[in-house]
A and B are shown apart, each in its own frame.
Chain A
Amino acid sequence: MSHTDTNDGKIAHAHDPRYGINIMIWITLLSLTVITIAVAGIDLGNYTLLVAMFIAAIKSAFVINYFMHIKFEDLLFKLFLVGVILVLLVVFVLTGFDVFLR
């Protein structure tokens, strides 16, 4: 966590919670949304879904790291998150094998 109160009442910030960086993230997210819509208009064949999901993954990474603050949390939070992503990945890949290669 970024915020600590010092005894004299001043606020010290290990990671100063700034407005600027979050506004930058927001602009990035909006730009990526525009890119997603633009790319969807181009016929990329089988890669359409892949590209759309790739951009969505980048957007999620920004939201999780900055808006949800995971980047500045303890290792434990990050390990849990990696664990959940791995579980989802395994479930999707194994189901994918069943569905696509049947």
Chain B
Amino acid sequence: MKILVAVKRVIDYNVQIRVKEDGTGVVTENVKMSTNPPDDNAIEEAVKIKEAGKATEVVAVTVGEEKAQETVRKALAVGADRGIHVKVDGILEPLAVSKILQKIVDKEKPDLVFMGKQAIDDDCNQTGQMLSALLNWPQATFASKIDVKDNKLEVTREIDEGLETIEINVPAIVTCDLRLNEPRYASLPNIMKAKKKPIEEIAASDLGVDVSPRLEQLKVEEPPKRKAGIKVANVAELVQKLKNEAKVI
């Protein structure tokens, strides 16, 4: 079984986001970037499946600018076998990314495609589902547990009401929740080894996919600020304030 894992480079989850004064976006210059957190879970799961002898190869793919390759390199350092970097400048919409990934799937013919359930920058939560639509494959979104059984997966999904378990036939798409596993850290020797693993570079323009944007981002602004609150001295004061001032209890 061959697993393709899609990873995205985003602003690190610990960075306090600042909106640009001209309203065109958020500040990304000199800001720490990392792999989208649930994409780390996707890589970890694929590597674990391979370590369990149930997969033969793990290929990490990213779509993005020059520096996006860092995320592929990181995936190689934690156990992916080789990488693919589809080069494209500017921000792509999930629809465009899923069309590019479809081309990569056509070429690589993986049995499974894993990725994070959502990117923490645009918070769209679309790419995995769109890719499975384009391929007409089953989709297991928001996965918190995966059991590989021959040519099937049993996947536990986190849904609003609790948990749902489904069985999907491969080939299939799985989007991963943060609770799926605990991503490992790359050891120094593995980081060194990863430098020798191959990363194939492909220009998005060579894939024959229309990636032109369908959406216009007219403005990005700061959300309204909450007015500063107060500290109360004790529980009695808190309850009095809630009862008589805020009138919520």
Are A and B genuine complex partners? no
Chain B residues with CB under 8 Å of chain A are none
